[in-house]
Amino acid sequence: MVQAKLTLYLGCTVATDEYAYELSTINTLPKLGVELEYLEGTTCCGSPLMSVNMKSFVYLALRNVALADQQGLDMLTLCPGCHLSFFEARHYAEHSPQLKDEINALLSNEGLKYEGKVKVRHLVDLLHDVVGLDKIRSAASKPLKGLRLATHIGCHAIRPSRLERIDDPEKPVKLDRLVEALGAEVVDYPEKLDCCGAGFLLSNPQAGLTVAGVKIKALQARGVDGLVVACPLCHKMLGQKQQSASQVVGAELNLPVIYYTQLLGLAMGESEDKLGLMLNQSPVDSLLEKLK
C-alpha cells in the first residue's frame, strides 16, 4: 500500500560519490509504502554559488523545485545541504516578487515555472513525520537489540533556525527516535551538535579533518558501537575521511559510520549488497558482527 509518492532529488554528492545512500534508500523506503520516482533533468542545488552570485544560486535551486512542480510530486532530498538550498531560495523568492519574476522569466526558456506548490522533504522528516515511528517499528523484523549508537544530524539539518529546518536547532531528536524505533540504544554526547568539518574541506583541509577527528575520537571514548548519519557530506567526513583524520589528530580512529537507511535495511532483513555496505570506508564490519 502506497503511503507516500515523491520524486527523488539526488544532488551532486550522492550521485557522484556517496552511492550507498542512494542504494539503501531505494531498497528500503518502498517497503515502508514510500514510492519514489527519480527527478529527471536536475542540476546542482546551487549552494556553491551562494557566495558568488545570489541570483544564480536562487535560479539553480528553484529550477529543481520547478521540475518537481512540473512532475506534480513532493520532492525528497537525501542531503540536508540541498534541502537548505531549496528552503533558502524559496525564502528569497517569496519575499521578493521581483526576484521571483526574474527567475520565472529565465525558467520559461525551458518551459518551466516555479510555483512553490510542492513540499520539499528530507529523509529524516519524511520517515519521522510522514511514515511514522510505529510503521518503522513494525517493519523492523530483526530489531537491533544490544547496539549502542550515537547520531549526527548535521549542521544544515538544523541551522539557520530562522528558516524551517528538519529538526529542532537546539535539541534535535528525530534521528534519535528513528534509531530507537529499530531497537538500538541511542547514546547522547556533548559534541552531538558539533560540525563534521565538511565546510572547511576545500579552504582548509587540515582544519576540516581536525574537526572530524576530534568528534570521532570523543565518540570512541564513549564506547559506542557506531555513528548514524543522514547526510552525504557528513558521511564523507566522518566515514570516508576517517583515516586521514586519524593522521591529523594523532589517534587511531576506527568508528563504524553508517547511513540511517543502511541501518533501517539491516533491521528489515535486507541484504548487505542492496544496502551498499561494501562501499562504506569506515569499519562497519565490526558493527555487523555484533548483529550476528
User: Does the N-terminal peptide bond of residue 160 adopt cis geometry, omega within 30 degrees of 0?
Assistant: yes
The answer to whether residues 97 and 219 belong to one domain is no
pLDDT of residue 133: 97
The answer to whether 263 touches 27, Cβ cutoff 8 Å, is: no
* Structural domain range at position 277: 142-289
Q: What is the pLDDT of residue 2?
A: 61
Q: Is residue 130 part of a domain?
A: no
Residue ranges of the chain with pLDDT lower than 70?
1-2
Number of structural domains in the chain: 2
Instruction: Let me know whether 231 and 268 are in one domain.
Output: yes
Q: Is residue 133 part of a domain?
A: no
Place of cell 531505494: 26
CATH number reported for the structural domain that contains residue 233 in this entry: 3.40.50.11810
Q: Are 92 and 146 contained in the same domain?
A: no
How do residues 132-191 score in pLDDT, each as one tens digit?
A: 999 999 999 999 999 999 999 999 999 998 899 999 999 999 999 999 999 999 999 999
Q: Looking at residue 182, what is its pLDDT?
A: 98
Please indicate, yes or no, if residue 136 is contained in any of the structural domains: no
| DSSP string across 93-154 | HHT-HHHHHHHHHHHGGGT------S-EEEHHHIIIIII-HHHHHHH-SS--TT-EEEEE--
Residues 8 and 99 in one domain: yes
At residue 259, φ and ψ (nearest 5 deg) are -70, 150
| 173 assigned to some structural domain | yes
Q: Are residues 87 and 167 in the same domain?
A: no
In a shared domain, residues 160 and 278: yes
Of 62, 90, 122, the one marking the end of a domain is 122
